[in-house]
Structure 1
């Protein structure tokens, strides 16, 4: 820590609120819900953390803890990190939200960054990506690529992020194929390759031939590789399954955010923020379109991606009704962020109930 006079330190504290004094080095912790080699969500956070460490070199000491269940175990892990002198802790799963808030209250000098949540505090920021933008593109591709007219979605937990993904997928699959049907299987886990594989097979048994997953492993693609059909990389590119069954992917680009937030701690300028970025900002990437996709469909999907990126199109643009047929968005009306952030309903045409 750079030495400063007491008066200068007090002035800086007043001017920056909860921001800390500038530091020569910072100890950064990451907590993952799955293993660092899950091929998807946790691995991509880990790889982003490693890019951050490479960027800063000796200025950063990196601590990682993988496969931490959401709940009491997460709270214990965060507490241990804070007690060990970690200055900044990234908690990278939705179910870490309340544990993050609880531990942050006990360690007001430690800074926390929670991925995909919505609860903040003076020393807690939240950050997420507009995954629904990517799911508009993959949903469109699913609608174009299905031969049976049936696509499937493996859903983890009934939180707004996942419900938005289902809705965006269906809206854009229907734009590509007005007769498309979407089947959703809820697996109540982020990472369980066996459950994800079983859900994929169950969808195939229903006549589904394109599967989208909102879980963390490569198991759905492994099943599709043997059984046939198409799928997508989730959170990471999963390019080892290209050109088929993986025909594109949604890629989470966390490294720039991690570098920015660690730099803020080093500079003494860190404050609590709420970040929600998408394709335009580079936090959501779309993987290369496979040659298994016809050229004209690749061109249409690229045009859709560009329209989202330049702001000329929003994936939730009316006319849209809720599942029960009641009007939601009028023609040309765009959903506001507040509604999207708390989304708890299906759009018209999605079959089934959202688990309680």
Structure 2
């Protein structure tokens, strides 16, 4: 399967999803199995707890994580002690979790594990670097529900997005939602060399306004939430970019739409697309009204892993579901249960 060749181009990868039971762990287990066949050494960690036999939210059975000998694992020390595999301890970190500090070890035998990694993105990046340091060809971070910020290019080199039938019983609505969320994650990077020359000076500020002559003003705002009026009041006819170092929400964009036409010649620039939390209706309306949203750092979305079966007991025709999604995106779409 060519998605595996794409995965192996990178040193780190995150697996993220937009709902419970969309197949993140199944996708991870597929990659683990295929990499063993190719003698690839994997590093493994997560945000949150994963690998448990029963989903703690839905109380349904879920796939366990099975690792082979030589996998390098970062997890909470209580879970490391409870796993039945033989281990070589490589590092005891000072990163804490509710289940104990993170320990990095090499598996010396095959077996099942549970993962509980850091909850802070900078810590995840550090763990990935340590996994590679200890010999992992590829470090994989298994994401928690709705933590799509894990796909940020500041954390991992590449991302697989998991979704599926569980998000809507209507196949057409499910397809529409999956395509929209994938396209948001895959938003284009701004193509403007002059902007990037000044970006280093403003990237630490929550909100900056860049004018057409590339002069700029950094606003004294601590969060983008509930600050849209102050931002809108600071915009004038010379504003070229509104640079947002934080999340972009429905309320933020709705207030721009209500404010009039100033935004129509302005591009809202987000640090990366994992910070965009917009309903499809709001995003589409903003774009239709000549609004523009681009990113400073593009998420490297290398695949869409699609699960056509829902835990609620219904399933979609696999081929139609996959083909319909693939026809509307240039991102590789696949079902790991049918490759």
The TM-score with structure 1 as length reference comes to 0.30
The structure whose residues are more often helix, as a share, is: 1
The structure whose residues are more often strand, as a share, is: 2
